[in-house]
Structure 1
Amino acid sequence: MISELNQRSRDIFRLIVDAYVASGEPVGSRTISRRLGMTLSPATIRNVMADLEEQGLLYAPHASAGRIPTDAGLRMFVNGLLEVGALTDEERVTIEAQCAGSGRALADVLSEATGMLSGLSRCAGLVLAPKTDRPLKHIEFVALGPGRALVVLVNENGLVENRVIEVPVGLPASTLQVVSNYLSARLVGRTLDEARQDVLTEIQEQQTELDELSRRVVAAGLATWSGSAGMDSGQLIVRGQSKLLEDVTAISDLERVRSLFEALETKEAMLRLLDATGRGDGVQIFIGAENVLFNHSGCTMIISPFQNSREQVIGAIGVIGPTRINYARIIPLVDYTAKVVSRLVG
């Protein structure tokens, strides 16, 4: 579509998008005229804006002279007119320092990277933690309250996974310690998939000294990681959702943000979407209605997969923000962060 625009239309459209990204407000012809240095009259600019609106690139959000870009307009801008900025040396150093993984659990590194992206972009940061297929180094069952316990798994990469399970009410703490010791002896140093069936077979054939209550707790713990609901799905970490509330000025904006928060809570749908980013190459951008999860929330997601040393995609990191997100600044931030994380996960 961009090839159908003459240079004047391109210049005016770029200025409209730049002004909208900066202010979030509809942009009028007089604003564009001032930015052009009065080389074109407001009337001429209004005619160009009317043409752009007819082509589906602009629309009027209410009865005013101002226009804002549509999702299709933003997509055309990103694909054909956007001039992506370059990170400064200081920004690169900051990203590398915040993501430094020496001596820290991988989950902490990823959480820190996500929070850093949120702060630099003023959007919500998110990361899909890598699938857990490394051998385990720790497993523990912790009492939470009547009828509930927390199962904690830590793999050799330092990635921590927690699951809440139901246990018999009144279960003594000593039983949870017995279960932790039993599974540690059989799981540590092996992947969960390698060891799960051996443990279940041992229990089913009663080749263990565990009592019936302990066996039930062991089976419940292992069941939390079975099938698609287990650790193979990865872990979604979201940081900085409050950033999305900072520029809310109208009830309609607040409703869109609430809609986004609800979408962020649908973890399975988010994981499917993030997993799909692994099929692409480099930074991917989902704008407004292009994104089935956010089409009612007026949001953009900029995300990039990261890889291990075998060049296998194992996760993704990025940001979610309003469609007027600062694309030129945030795209290189996400791209470089994903590359730094790829080096760390090895």
Structure 2
Amino acid sequence: MDVGSMLDERSREIFRRIVESYLENGEPLGSRNLSRLLPMSLSPASVRNVMSDLEQLGLIYSPHISAGRLPTQSGLRFFVDAFMQTGNLSDEERASIDRQVRPNDRDQTLENLMTDASLMLSGVSRGAGIVITTKSDPILKHVEFIRLEPTKALAVLVGDHNQIENRIIDLPAGVTSSQLTEAANFLNAHLTGQTLPEFRGQIKKLKQEVQTEVDALAQDLIEKGLAVWSGDSEEGKPTQLIVRGRANLLEGLGEASDLDRLRLLFDDLEKKDSLIEILELAEAGSGVRIFIGSENKLFSLSGSSLIVAPYRDGEDRIVGAVGVIGPTRLNYSRVVPMVDYTAQLIARLSRGSM
């Protein structure tokens, strides 16, 4: 059903005023106040007749008897698709985003940039700013192993921007402290300028070459009857989620059920499946996408909206997404261009184009 074709100019104007009032203050708009706002002369009774028609079309509803009207989820979607205009950001707004997201020193990590972007989006939207990115492996410059128990050690990995990552690793039985030192010395001598997965690939290649030689020698010995052979038998990059501004979503919520729905939302977000889902949502369309309430099952319980845009690497592959989660009465026309510009900015920064 093409709802737009069923609305005349008067109906469209009344509907637009109801939605804009809701987005501004979250309150129902009644016929008497609405009649004063309209550019055409209409009595409150005439306005009520139009509101009744809009209600039958599923665009607005009355939260309780004798109250004004609020937009339904379908009404919000129709408003976003048919009425909302998202202009370009002003030079001042672009400059403000640049100041908050661009690196302030050479050693700032990409993760710090993502956190800054999330904080900025939270601030401008009064919602929660989110950034999803594939976690990059640092170029290592030093490795150290510290024995904790006979079969456990702490691996200390120091990256090229002085990031320090600690990992507890399991040790084969019988490994001595001197062997740990030798292993660290070997890695530090050969790891310069490489990530751990890159170096692991080199080790695998070397092992395969040695294994090929061993296999050839073993096969020769077996063929000569001098030996009996007994043989034995990729991991993807983890995704990480950065969320800032959760408190914004809790402001003004008095109902315990509202708080419970938001907790469910954030519990879902912290599950890897939800991160993948948001990336897929961003990838499914070009530019910024808007999901209102239950349009996406991830938010069906929380009653929240998601504005999300993908960002790409130098080979035009989607490697992450930025966005805002907030109440359904988000200021869409303001937030959409900011999410779009932030995604473009992060894409440039992550490729090293400052």
Structure 2 residue corresponding to 1:44, chosen from 25, 37, 46: 46
Aligned-residue Cα RMSD (Å) equals: 3.6
- Call closer, same or farther: CA 1:45–1:243 in 2, change over 3 Å: same
Q: Which residue of 1 aligns with 2:193?
A: 189
Give the whole-Å Cα distance in 1 for the aligned partners of 2:180 and 2:58. Answer: 62
Show the 5 A alignment for 1:1-346: 1-36=3-38, 39-101=41-103, 103=106, 104-130=108-134, 132=136, 136-138=139-141, 165=168, 167=170, 183-185=187-189, 187-199=191-203, 227-228=235-236, 232-346=237-351
Preserved CA contact (<8 Å) 2:18 2:70: yes
Q: Compare 325-334 and 34-43 and name the one that shifted more.
A: 34-43
Preserved CA contact (<8 Å) 2:135 2:239: yes
Give the whole-Å Cα distance in 2 for the aligned partners of 1:295 and 1:148. Answer: 44
Where does structure 2 lack aligned partners over 5 or more consecutive residues?
212-233
Preserved CA contact (<8 Å) 1:303 1:316: yes
Aligned pair count? Answer: 321
Q: Compare 174-183 and 36-45 and name the one that shifted more.
A: 174-183
Instruction: State the identity %.
Output: 45
Q: Which residue of 2 aligns with 1:219?
A: none
Preserved CA contact (<8 Å) 1:152 1:161: yes
- Call closer, same or farther: CA 1:70–1:138 in 2, change over 3 Å: farther
Give the whole-Å Cα distance in 2 for the aligned partners of 1:62 and 1:173. Answer: 73
Give the whole-Å Cα distance in 1 for the aligned partners of 2:280 and 2:158. Answer: 22
TM-score by length of 2: 0.76
Preserved CA contact (<8 Å) 2:155 2:169: no
- Call closer, same or farther: CA 1:322–1:41 in 2, change over 3 Å: same
Give the whole-Å Cα distance in 1 for the aligned partners of 2:340 and 2:295. Answer: 21
Show CA shifts across 1:33-52 (max 9, x none): 23226822222222222211
- Call closer, same or farther: CA 1:282–1:263 in 2, change over 3 Å: same
Give the whole-Å Cα distance in 1 for the aligned partners of 2:89 and 2:204. Answer: 52
Preserved CA contact (<8 Å) 1:141 1:149: no
Give the whole-Å Cα distance in 2 for the aligned partners of 1:235 and 1:197. Answer: 24
Give the whole-Å Cα distance in 2 for the aligned partners of 1:159 and 1:81. Answer: 49
After TM superposition, give the deviation of residue 187 of structure 1 in Å: 5.0
SS at 1:128 equivalent:
strand
Q: Compare 85-94 and 240-249 and name the one that shifted more.
A: 85-94
Give the whole-Å Cα distance in 2 for the aligned partners of 1:75 and 1:113. Answer: 27
